[in-house]
Amino acid sequence: SAVISQKPSRDICQRGTSLTIQCQVDSQVTMMFWYRQQPGQSLTLIATANQGSEATYESGFVIDKFPISRPNLTFSTLTVSNMSPEDSSIYLCSVRTGGFNEQFFGPGTRLTVL
Amino acid sequence: GQQVMQIPQYQHVQEGEDFTTYCNSSTTLSNIQWYKQRPGGHPVFLIQLVKSGEVKKQKRLTFQFGEAKKNSSLHITATQTTDVGTYFCAGANSGYALNFGKGTSLLVTP
């Protein structure tokens, strides 16, 4: 299993600003994922972050808007850039450990953009 | 691309009644996973199904994977108030990414 923490847990931001969300895992993991979940909706994968390489973005998400860092095997950041109210959502960090496909999720960051 | 459809969107039952949620994929899956998300919480892994026709049980929960590996179901027998939450299926094909269904929100009233 993996224990994941995220900072901040929630934030209220002004339009046009940027917010960086941190994800810390208690063990070394190869693959980390960033998801977005709008209220009452499903989870949408933003990107996959592997240590030592560029993040891989899903269709509809671009690096300029959601830059990701993965400096080591236990940490990653997701930045939501030039925010608009449409970016209001819960952002979740997730990891996959060992040889199994089971994914563990962080507690999420609830972002509100005014 | 792969799409995972899940029905129903909502289900309201009386405590003690059974509950089933269904998941269908547009493509054949290598495996399917089920997650539960309590209100205000984050998704928590329940189970993974890999084999065609596989059936797994966890106490009152029964999970099935279709013969064609394109559909799955989660059945809860005799629901309890602790079963409240949203149940998501997530399909994986040959890649590493999971495609989540829209989820079924279960409400159980005593």
Return the H-helix or E-strand segment holding B76: strand B71-76
pLDDT > 70: percent of chain A = 97
* Cβ neighbours of A98 (radius 10 Å): 11
Residue A17: the pLDDT is 97
Q: How far is CA A89 from CA A24, A38, B88, in A?
A: 20, 5, 18
> Which pLDDT band, with edges at 50, 70 and 90, does B59 fall under?
very high
Cβ atoms of A107 and A7 closer than 8 Å: no
A13 pLDDT exceeds 90?
yes
Q: In angstroms, rounded to a whole number, what is the distance separating the alpha carbons of residues A52 and A65?
A: 20
Q: Are B19 and B83 in contact (CB under 8 A)?
A: yes
Best residue in B23, B42, B100 for a mutation probing chain A (most A CBs within 10 Å)? B42
- A114: helix, strand or coil: coil
**pLDDT for the residue B97:** 78
Per-residue pLDDT tens digits for B66-93: 999 999 999 999 999 999 999 999 998 7
- B98 with A45: Cβ contact below 8 A: yes
* Arithmetic mean of pLDDT, A16-21: 98
Neighboring chain A residues of B100 at a CB cutoff of 8 Å = 42-44
- The two tokens of residue B40 are 């205000």
pLDDT at B1: 61
Average pLDDT over residues A46-50: 91
CA-nearest residue of chain A to B42?
A107
Look at phi and psi of residue B36 and say left if phi exceeds 0, alpha if psi is from -120 to 50, else beta.
Answer: beta
Indicate if the pLDDT at residue A36 is higher than 80.
yes
Q: Which residue has the higher pLDDT, B95 or B66?
A: B66
Length in residues, chain A: 114
CB contact at 8 A, A76 and A23: yes
SS3 A86: helix
pLDDT of residue A98: 63
Q: Give the residue, A37 or A2, on which the prediction is more confident.
A: A37
Name every residue in B having a CB less than 8 A away from some CB of A. 1, 31, 33, 41-45, 48, 88, 90, 92, 96-103, 105
Under 8 Å between Cβ of B102 and B6: yes
Tokens of A74: 């236990």
- pLDDT tens digits along B3-48: 899 999 999 999 999 999 999 999 999 999 999 999 999 999 999 9
Considering only the beta carbons, identify the residue of B33, B44, B99 that sits closest to A101. B33
Cβ of B42 within 8 Å of Cβ of A41? The answer is no
Quote the CA–CA distance of A42 and B56 in Å, as a whole number. 24
CA of A57, closest CA in chain B: separation in Å?
Answer: 11
Provide φ and ψ at A85, rounded to 5°: -55, -25
A108 near A38, Cβ under 8 Å? no
pLDDT tens digits for range A57-86 = 999 999 999 999 999 999 999 999 999 999
